[in-house]
């Protein structure tokens, strides 16, 4: 579901909501209204807003957050400011002049004034785009002319061949024919989105005023603000899917094999360029022997130690003869002529030099076999062998870095790590992280009543850094639309992902959402999730600087610290994993779910929201035991300390009202197991 920000700036300007109603009450029951948004009279912004909602290719046809039909209202008149049609015409994959004709002919029957407004229809990708006048009456009259044929037109635009013949062959009928009600009934509700093009000049550059059940925006008066959020409460899994559908992997880059690679994901297989070991090497400390000599007393002729490169393999080094053995250390090259190694524990000293330094004769107590205790050339890694695969993460365990270095690989292809900007917002929030190392400077600012210490930014930055992310500290942003706009605009140009906390609830200072939509030209994909805590979690995309730049992701998380952290782990990190190049399983969507035994008291289930209960899990007697971290109020940051998991408790039903102690529960892992 796209943002539901259909609002108008002037009291008589109601075409957006009116059109929504028209589609929602259409007897075909074909339509699900996705979002309404307002766009200034700016050709680029109009084109961007419309394009961002269109299904541009076949792969996007099933994408729930994109639209089958986009309607724009306004900007179709005769003045120089009316540019909607010119803005959209270059985007049409196919113009639909007959739709426009149907609208004009029908509307002219109602009023000759219809001739004063242009209309324009076309297909962009597989989305039908209808541009109609801004007036309430004019827009709905035009739409009504083509509404009955629209479900069929959508289906036709989406058939694989792109021709309506395929559709007819399958038995679909045009509206009005006898089998219309059965075959032409859409499989799923068509997604509709209305873009209302508004004359920005008339608004003095200000964001238009919110009305009715529309989103709060910066210029709203306190008394006039909404009393209920207009954002639908999305199920958690739907919200996460929307996030991932709007997320793609970062560009690939070549990097030297270095320590900073921890957290990077390989974009190409890594191939060994050297054999490991590069020579026949001893696995133990002992004696290089000729196996067929068997047990017995032998003369010790020489020794090879690991790293003794000057002596080894030179012409002066004689071959080991039958009756001789040579001392050898772990990792040293095998003495020429020897074929196995006997470990020192399987031998005894028979004769030593007088000073006790040198071994002269040694008794070998066991029968060695050919190749015993020897690592052959390339037996750990062979030249040309794939040692790490595309999609593998270079972990903090250390093994991948070690493997790359051992295999003599100087550089690898990885997905660039996303650059993540983290900001707190709020006039009351006081910076309280102290990076000073000088004892005398280690102090915190005192708080006045009403002020709180910024706990979100330190928590999130610490967590993101520990995950190896490239983090930008964006500081604390005041609750003021101009500052928010300036800071977030800079942040989205610098970073691939921007995370803010605070300012997304129903207070009069909660300005993030309107700033995203009205000032940054962003699209809010959702503004609430049915979850406890973190209900107001908001996800938006902000267009890149130019056509070539990708959209930036903006996660506006709730201000309460536990909510912010839960949303970060459950909603933001899966997106960051996908951006980092991980191929996420559509089932688990980047989250790690485990079964655990609930080791705390019974928990009463919430009546309306599933709960993600902060807890600690530990392995005991063959099971994970999950223990609550205590009070779960979303302001209680301490409920996240010691937490390494979130237990999932569904919302209450008639049958299930409580999670009983000792019952099995699902938990999402968010930290490390200890
Ligand atoms: P808000 O969403 O801005 O209304 O904030 C909700 C609650 O979270 C308020 O009590 C805020 O004071 C608190 N809060 C907001 N930001 C932070 C922060 N960075 N650190 C700690 N608490 C915060
Ligand atoms: Mg606030």
CATH 3.40.50.280 matches 592-669: no
* C-beta of 156 in contact with ligand 1 (< 6 A): no
- Helical (H) or strand (E) element with 302: strand 296-304
**Closest C-alpha to ligand 1, atom 23:** 559
Q: pLDDT confidence of 313, banded at 50, 70, 90?
A: low
The pLDDT, as a whole number, for residue 609 is: 97
The pLDDT, as a whole number, for residue 139 is 81
The CATH architecture one would assign to domain 4-171+181-196 is 3-Layer(aba) Sandwich (3.40)
**Cα–Cα distance measured from residue 484 to residue 502, given in angstroms and rounded to the nearest whole number:** 12
Q: Which residues hold their Cβ within 5 A of ligand 2, which is an ion? A: 426, 502-503, 559
- The contacts of residue 229 (CB under 8 Å, 6+ apart) are 506, 527, 528, 536
Region 135-156: mean pLDDT is 82
Identify the CA nearest to 288 among candidates 356, 374, 382, 173.
Answer: 374
- For the CA atoms of the chain, what is the radius of gyration? 34
**Residues carrying CATH 3.40.980.10, the chain:** 4-171+181-196, 239-248+417-434+448-579
| pLDDT tens-digit series, residues 401-428 | 999 999 999 999 999 999 999 999 999 9
In this prediction, residue 216 has a pLDDT band, given cuts at 50, 70 and 90, of very low
Q: What is the mean pLDDT of the chain?
A: 85
Distance, CA 432 to ligand 1 centroid (Å)? Answer: 14
Q: What's the CATH superfamily of 281-375?
A: Molybdopterin biosynthesis moea protein, domain 3. (2.170.190.11)
The CA 510 to ligand 1 mean position distance, Å, reads 11
Alpha helix segments (H runs only) across 287-342: none
Query: Comparing 186-195, 357-366, 447-456, which segment has the lowest mean pLDDT?
Result: 186-195
Per-residue model confidence (pLDDT) at position 221: 67
Residues 37 and 2: their CA atoms lie apart, in Å, by 9
Residue 204, pLDDT > 70, answer no
| pLDDT score, position 212 | 28
**pLDDT attached to residue 587:** 97
CB 303 within 8 A of CB 357: no
Q: Find out whether 615 and 539 touch, Cβ atoms under 8 Å.
A: no
Between 150 and 298, residue with greater pLDDT? 298
Q: Is 474 helix (H, G, I), strand (E, B) or coil?
A: strand
Q: Which residues pair with 299 in a beta bridge?
A: 324, 361
Q: How far is the CA of 574 from the centre of ligand 1 (A)?
A: 24
Location of each CATH 2.40.340.10 domain in the chain: 592-669
Nearest CA to ligand 1 atom 16: 559
Helices (H), 111-235: 136-146, 150-158, 164-169, 180-183
Domain with CATH 3.90.105.10 in the chain: 252-275+379-415
Asked if the model's pLDDT at residue 470 lies above 50, the reply is yes
Look at residue 110 and tell me whether its pLDDT is greater than 80: no
Q: How far is the CA of 559 from the centre of ligand 1 (A)?
A: 4
pLDDT digits (tens, 9 = 90+) for 223-273: 767 788 889 999 999 999 999 999 999 999 999 999 999 999 999 999 999
Q: How confident is the model at residue 201 (pLDDT cuts 50, 70, 90)?
A: very low
Q: What pLDDT score does 224 carry?
A: 67
Confidence of residue 10 (pLDDT cuts 50, 70, 90): very low
DSSP string, 19-37: HHHHHHT-TT--EEEEEEE
Q: Whose CA is nearest to atom 5 of ligand 1?
A: 559
561 lines ligand 1 (CB under 6 A): yes
Alpha carbon distance 118, 75 (integer Å):
9
In percent, the amount of the chain with pLDDT more than 70 equals 86
Domain covering 239-248+417-434+448-579 in this structure, CATH number: 3.40.980.10
Choose between 191 and 491: higher pLDDT.
Answer: 491
d(Cα 510, Cα 525) in Å, to the nearest integer?
A: 18
pLDDT of residue 581: 98
**How many CA within 13 A on the CB side of residue 599?**
18
Q: Ligand 1 in contact with 499 (CB < 6 A)?
A: no
**Positive or negative: CA dihedral 380, 381, 385, 389:** positive
The confidence score (pLDDT) of residue 318 equals 76
**Which H or E run includes 39?**
strand 31-40
Instruction: Extract the tokens encoding 563.
Output: 């909510």
Measured CA to CA in angstroms, residue 563 lies from 108, 481, 524 at distances of 55, 23, 19
Determine if ligand 1 sits within 6 Å of the CB of residue 218. Answer: no
Q: Which of 225, 426, 478, 555 to mutate to test the pocket of ligand 1 (most atoms within 8 A of CB)?
A: 426
Distance 266 CA to ligand 1 centre (A): 38
Q: Residue 142: what pLDDT?
A: 85
Mutate which of 452, 562, 633 for ligand 1? The one with the most ligand atoms within 8 Å of its CB, which is: 452
Q: Which of 109-123, 435-449, 509-523 holds the top average pLDDT?
A: 509-523
Q: What is the mean pLDDT of residues 72-77?
A: 84
Q: Which two tokens stand for residue 373?
A: 């205790």
Residues 6 or more apart whose Cβ sits within 8 Å of residue 36: 4, 5, 6, 7, 16, 17, 20, 193, 194, 195, 196
Whether residue 364 has pLDDT greater than 80: yes
- In this prediction, residue 166 carries a pLDDT of 35
Task: Name the burial class of residue 124, with classes exposed (0-12), middle (13-18) and buried (19+) by CB atoms within 10 angstroms of its CB.
Answer: buried
Question: Is 452 buried (19+), middle (13-18) or exposed (0-12) by CB count in 10 A?
Answer: middle
The yes-or-no verdict on residue 497 having pLDDT over 60 is yes
Structure tokens at 75: 């900007």
Percentage of the chain lying above the pLDDT 90 cut: 61
Does 500 contact ligand 1 (Cβ within 6 A)? Answer: no
Least confident residue range of 94-98, 116-120, 361-365, 670-674: 116-120
The H-assigned helical ranges of 481-637 are: 481-494, 512-514, 561-567, 573-579
In the predicted structure, residue 601 carries a pLDDT above the cut 50: yes
Ligand 1 atom closest to 455 (CA): 20
Cα–Cα dist 371/532, whole Å: 63
- The ligand minimizing its distance to the Cα of 430 is 1
Residue 76's nearest CA partner among 124, 30, 138 is 138
- The finding on whether 502 has its CB within 6 A of some atom of ligand 1 is yes
Helix or strand (DSSP H, E) at 190:
strand 190-198
User: Does ligand 1 come within 6 angstroms of the Cβ of 479?
Assistant: no
Residue 186 confidence (pLDDT): 32
What value, to the nearest 5°, has the Cα angle with vertex 610 and ends 609 and 613? 120
Cα(264)–Cα(392) distance, rounded to whole angstroms?
Answer: 9
- Cβ pair 130, 22 in contact under 8 A: no
Confidence of residue 311 (pLDDT cuts 50, 70, 90): low
Residues of the chain with CATH 2.170.190.11: 281-375
Cα–Cα distance between 542 and 200 in angstroms, integer? Answer: 20
**Ligand 1 atom nearest to CA at 505:** 2
The β-bridge partners of 545 are: none
CA of 197 to the centre of ligand 1 (A): 35
CATH of region 252-275+379-415: 3.90.105.10
Q: Rounded to whole angstroms, how far apart are CA atoms 236 and 531?
A: 7
Compute the distance from residue 504 Cα to the ligand 1 centre, in Å.
10
Instruction: Give the span between the Cα atoms of 301 and 120, in whole angstroms.
Output: 96
For ligand 1, what atom is nearest to the CA of residue 560?
8
Q: Which of 45-54, 216-225, 346-355, 370-379 has the lowest mean pLDDT?
A: 216-225
Centroid of ligand 1 to alpha carbon of 642 (angstroms): 21
pLDDT for 445 beyond 60? yes
Ligand 1 pocket member 533 (CB < 6 A):
no
Task: Look at residue 220 in the predicted model and tell me its pLDDT.
Answer: 54
DSSP 609: S
Side-chain-side CA neighbours of residue 303 (13 Å): 12
């Amino acid at each position: 579901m796209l943002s539901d920000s259909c609002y108008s700036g002037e009291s008589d300007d109601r075409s957006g909501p009116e059109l929504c109603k028209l589609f929602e009450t259409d007897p075909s029951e074909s339509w699900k209204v996705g979002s309404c948004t307002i766009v200034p009279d700016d050709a680029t912004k109009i084109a961007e807003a419309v394009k961002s909602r269109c299904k541009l290719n076949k792969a996007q046809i099933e994408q729930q957050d994109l639209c089958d039909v986009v309607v724009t209202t306004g900007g179709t008149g005769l003045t120089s400011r009316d540019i909607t049609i010119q803005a959209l015409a270059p985007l049409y994959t196919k113009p639909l002049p007959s739709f426009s004709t149907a609208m004009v002919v029908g509307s002219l029957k109602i009023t000759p004034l219809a001739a004063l407004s242009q209309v324009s229809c076309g297909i962009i990708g597989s989305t039908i785009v209808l541009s109609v006048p801004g007036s309430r009456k004019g827009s709905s009259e035009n739409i009504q002319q083509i509404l009955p044929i629209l479900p069929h037109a959508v289906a036709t635009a989406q058939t694989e061949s792109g021709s309506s013949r395929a559709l007819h062959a399958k038995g679909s009928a045009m509206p009005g024919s006898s089998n219309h009600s059965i075959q032409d009934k859409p499989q799923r509700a068509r997604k509709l989105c209305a873009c209302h093009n508004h004359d920005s000049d008339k608004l003095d550059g200000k964001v238009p005023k919110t009305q009715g059940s529309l989103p709060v925006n910066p210029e709203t008066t306190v008394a006039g603000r909404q009393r209920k959020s207009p954002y639908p409460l999305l199920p958690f899994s739907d919200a996460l899917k929307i996030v991932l559908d709007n997320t793609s992997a970062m560009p690939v880059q070549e990097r030297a094999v270095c320590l900073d690679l921890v957290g990077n994901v390989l974009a190409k297989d890594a191939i060994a360029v050297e054999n490991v070991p590069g020579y026949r090497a001893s696995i133990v400390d002992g004696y290089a022997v000729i196996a067929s000599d068997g047990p017995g007393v032998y003369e010790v002729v020489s020794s090879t130690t690991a790293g003794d490169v000057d002596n080894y393999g030179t012409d002066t080094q004689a071959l080991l003869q039958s009756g001789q053995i040579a001392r050898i250390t772990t990792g040293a090259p095998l003495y020429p002529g020897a074929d196995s190694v006997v470990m020192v524990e399987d031998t005894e000293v028979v004769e030593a030099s007088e000073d006790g330094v040198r071994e002269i004769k040694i008794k070998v107590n066991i029968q060695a076999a050919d190749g015993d205790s020897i690592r052959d050339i390339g037996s750990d890694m062979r030249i040309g062998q794939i040692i790490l695969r595309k999609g593998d993460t270079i972990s903090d365990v250390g093994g991948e870095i070690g493997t790359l270095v051992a295999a003599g690989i100087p550089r690898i292809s990885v997905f660039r790590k996303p650059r993540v900007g983290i900001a707190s917002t709020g006039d009351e929030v006081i910076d309280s992280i102290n990076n000073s190392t000088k004892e005398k400077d280690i102090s915190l600012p005192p708080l006045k009543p009403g002020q709180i210490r910024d706990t979100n930014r330190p928590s999130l930055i610490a967590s993101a850094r520990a995950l190896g992310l490239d983090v930008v500290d964006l500081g604390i942003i005041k609750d003021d639309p101009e500052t928010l706009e300036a800071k977030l605009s800079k942040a989205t140009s610098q970073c691939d992902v921007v995370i803010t906390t605070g300012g997304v609830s129903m207070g009069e200072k909660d300005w993030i959402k309107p700033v995203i939509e009205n000032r940054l030209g962003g699209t809010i994909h959702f503004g609430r999730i049915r979850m406890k805590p973190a209900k107001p979690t908001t996800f938006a995309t902000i267009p890149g600087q130019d056509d070539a730049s990708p959209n930036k992701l903006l996660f506006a998380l709730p201000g309460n610290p536990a909510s912010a952290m839960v949303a970060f782990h459950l909603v933001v990190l899966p997106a960051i994993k996908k951006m980092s190049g991980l191929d996420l399983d559509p089932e688990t969507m980047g989250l790690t779910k485990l079964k655990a035994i609930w080791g705390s008291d019974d928990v009463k289930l919430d009546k309306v929201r599933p709960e993600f209960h902060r807890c600690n899990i530990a392995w005991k007697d063959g099971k994970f035991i999950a223990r609550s971290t205590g009070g779960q109020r979303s302001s209680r940051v301490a409920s996240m300390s010691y937490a390494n998991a979130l237990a999932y408790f569904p919302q209450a039903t008639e049958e299930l009202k409580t999670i009983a102690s000792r019952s099995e529960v699902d938990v999402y892992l968010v930290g490390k197991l200890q």
